[in-house]
Amino acid sequence: MGTNNLKFCLFLSCLSLLAFEGLAQPQIQPISSVQPLTTGQRVTLDCTVTNTNMNEDIEWYHDGDVVSFGQNLLRDREGAYTLQVTQEQGVPSTYHWIITIANANIIRDEGSWSCNFAPEGSVAQVVVTDLLVIGPPFVSFVTSNLNNPPLNSDVRLECVATGSPLPSVTWSRTYPVPYILVDGARKGFVRQISNNTIRLNPITMDHRGEYMCSVTNGHGEIQTRKAYVQLPYAPEVTATLKNIRVPENSEAVLACISQAYPATATESDVMWTLNGNAVDPSQGSNVDVDRHPDNFNDERYYSRLTIRSVNSNHVGTYECIFTNQQGIGSATVTLGMEPTIDPNFGAKNEL
């Protein structure tokens, strides 16, 4: 081949190459898949486009909502997002539109992320990646206390929780008779009708008490929340000590605990008797009523009868009587004196 022909062929090759480069269209590259993240982890989403420049109108979307357009960040939720447009080193026509999430959050960030590009005169291009954020359960709602719902009505207790994976919810009753509530358990008493809801239908006096939902998804600690079903009932009374013996002239404190709804929360709701007769405060005693430290949903109170200096007139059987609109409850306490020790004759005056 002559020199002129060779030059002509090289010229045609250059023209073909230039024509090819001129026809090359921008192209979005597939997004690298992102491994499941833990809550609070930093993550970058890279949308790479070849045969382009940094002025292209590349769009990032999250679950259909626009996050960025071109070089502008349009949606910076809680200050967690940043956008950076960079040229690939050594490749002038390849650029990266990078979204960085500073601290991944289940509710805010999990879902479908897509990079969209519609070059003029060409078909729109979309690449998608799914973001999964693993995090511990969080209880967002529990049915508030139910005070005196109508008997035989349909009552439901709901416990709503979020988390990734989606947490499971288990209901139990913790008072007065503890047991786990599962579908079909205690037929006719309660049924679990969904992952987070139990149904008390028809509600009866047996349903009163404290209920608890336990939430877990295998990550973090189990979360628990309580709900109360309050139905009117007469006082249930117990004595803290049934038999008390103290030395003569010493102080004695007798105490009873009452659980009732409405609560027996004032001194007018309580009466103390000794051997069947009302206790006379003028005989060196006083009565007070206070919330119990373990106050079950403001239903549990205790009353104390304090005798400042015990003598033979104080010995006998005491009864603490609590009253509300539903009825009366009581318990008994026996008070005795320890024997007096006489160094010459031994014990005496044992009552």
Question: What local confidence, expressed as pLDDT, does residue 17 receive?
Answer: 39
Which residues, in sequence order, are CB contacts of 236 under 8 Å at separation 6+?
A: 258, 259, 260, 329
Least confident of 10-19, 97-106, 273-282, 288-297: 10-19
pTM of the model: 0.62
Instruction: Answer with the residue of higher pLDDT: 22 or 196.
Output: 196
Question: What local confidence, expressed as pLDDT, does residue 292 receive?
Answer: 77
Question: What local confidence, expressed as pLDDT, does residue 100 receive?
Answer: 96
pLDDT in tens, 121-173: 777 899 999 999 998 999 999 998 888 899 899 899 999 998 888 899 988 88
Give the CATH number of domain 26-131. Answer: 2.60.40.10
Tell whether the model's pLDDT for residue 236 goes beyond 90.
yes
Residue type present at position 96: H
Give the CATH number of domain 234-342. Answer: 2.60.40.10
Question: What local confidence, expressed as pLDDT, does residue 342 receive?
Answer: 64
**pLDDT range class, residue 54, cuts 50, 70, 90:** confident
**pLDDT range class, residue 22, cuts 50, 70, 90:** very low
Block residue for tokens 């045609």: 12
Contact 326, 312 (CB under 8 A): no
For residue 335, is it left (φ>0), alpha (ψ between -120 and 50) or beta? Answer: beta
Least confident of 58-62, 193-197, 306-310: 193-197
Q: For residues 257-283, give the mean pLDDT.
A: 90
Contact 34, 56 (CB under 8 A): no
Question: What local confidence, expressed as pLDDT, does residue 19 receive?
Answer: 38
Superfamily of domain 136-231: Immunoglobulins (2.60.40.10)
**Domain 26-131 and domain 136-231 have a common topology:** yes
**Domain definitions of the chain by residue range:** 26-131, 136-231, 234-342
